[in-house]
Amino acid sequence: MTETQIAVGVFGAAGRMGAEVCRAVQAAPDLELVAQLDVGDDRAPATAAQVMVDFTHPDAVLDNLSWCIENRIHAVVGTTGFTEDRLAQLRWALGSAPGVGIVVAANFSVGAVLMMHFAEQAARFYESVEIIELHHPDKADAPSGTATTTARRIAAARDAASRPAIPDATTQEVPGARGADIEGIRVHGVRLRGLVAHQEVLFGDPGETLTVRHDSFDRVSFMPGVLAAVRAVVDRPGLTIGIDDLLGIG
């Protein structure tokens, strides 16, 4: 490792995302892969890391991050399941570790970040909006973190514009037919072999609709965002949510 390289470790290194992150870090001249950890592995090699990247499981991520904070190691986190309560726990824990940075992002693909941004911009103009997220069938969580984040951002934008509730005359429903209700926004999940990660945000007004769609066809799509976060987090103490700022979006 040269003096200018950032030492990086990966939690979930054998997983779909973790393996891709290991390849991306190894291919980047300014980064050095110093630890690849999976379930049950001794974390000792990770003490050599300046930044740990976590793509594991919502049940595992907080314990990994507590360990990072205790050991004053920055973290870049793509694992889903971050509720407001979990983010508050992280902020509180970071309070005892000045200088340590954590970036948590529901989606590291530049296109998905733009899709969420565009959807947020459109939100105040339309009477109706629904989200369809489409993923590979091996995904553990539904709705996706991206869909949940998008729904929250749209709900906040509608709220700020004093938009009334979305019209829906449904009175008879097979349970689940109208999807999940995330802060008043309907979110529908599709799990289909052949897919990777996709999302459509559908807006409707009298006489017109607008669809904002993003497709990740390959997990390489997440790597520029992950590496940008790894490079940025060493100089970004505290909690950063999303990579919009790092990409200059917003």
Give catalytic residue positions.
Answer: 135, 139
222 carries a ligand binding annotation: no
3-state secondary structure of 20: helix
Q: Which of 31, 51, 106, 246 binds ligand LZUJQKHR (CB under 6 A)?
A: 106
3-state secondary structure of 100: coil
Query: Near ligand LZUJQKHR by CB under 6 A, which window of 88-96, 139-147, 154-162, 223-231?
Result: 139-147
Q: Using CB under 6 A, list all residues that contact ligand NDP.
A: 11-12, 14-18, 37-39, 55-57, 60, 64, 78-80, 105-108, 141, 145, 222
Bridge partners of 216, per DSSP, are 197
Find the shortest distance in angstroms from Cβ 196 to ligand NDP. 9
156 carries a ligand binding annotation: no
At 209, the amino acid letter reads T
β-strands 180-182, 185-191: how paired?
antiparallel
Distance, CA of 160 to CA of 86 (rounded, Å):
25
Could you identify the residue written with the tokens 């590291």? 108
- Return the one option of ligand LZUJQKHR, ligand NDP, none that residue 152 interacts with (CB less than 5 to 8 A, by type): none
Binding-site size for ligand LZUJQKHR (CB under 6 A) equals 9
Q: Which two structure tokens, joined as six digits, stand for 220?
A: 């390489």
Residue 150 binds ligand LZUJQKHR, judged by CB under 6 A: no
Rg of the chain, C-alpha, whole Å: 19
106 carries a ligand binding annotation: yes
105 carries a ligand binding annotation: yes
- Return the one option of ligand NDP, ligand LZUJQKHR, none that residue 9 interacts with (CB less than 5 to 8 A, by type): none
Q: Which of 36, 56, 64, 144 binds ligand LZUJQKHR (CB under 6 A)?
A: 144
The residues near 229 (Cβ < 8 Å, ≥ 6 apart) are: 76, 103, 105, 108, 243, 246
Residue 146 binds ligand LZUJQKHR, judged by CB under 6 A: yes
Residue 218 contacts residue 165 (beta carbons within 8 Å) = no
The residues near 152 (Cβ < 8 Å, ≥ 6 apart) are: 182, 183
β-strands 185-191, 128-135: how paired?
parallel
- Kindly list the residues in this chain that would bind ligand LZUJQKHR in the complex (CB under 6 A): 80, 106-107, 135, 139, 144-146, 197
Residues making up the binding site for (S)-2,3,4,5-tetrahydrodipicolinate: 136, 145-146
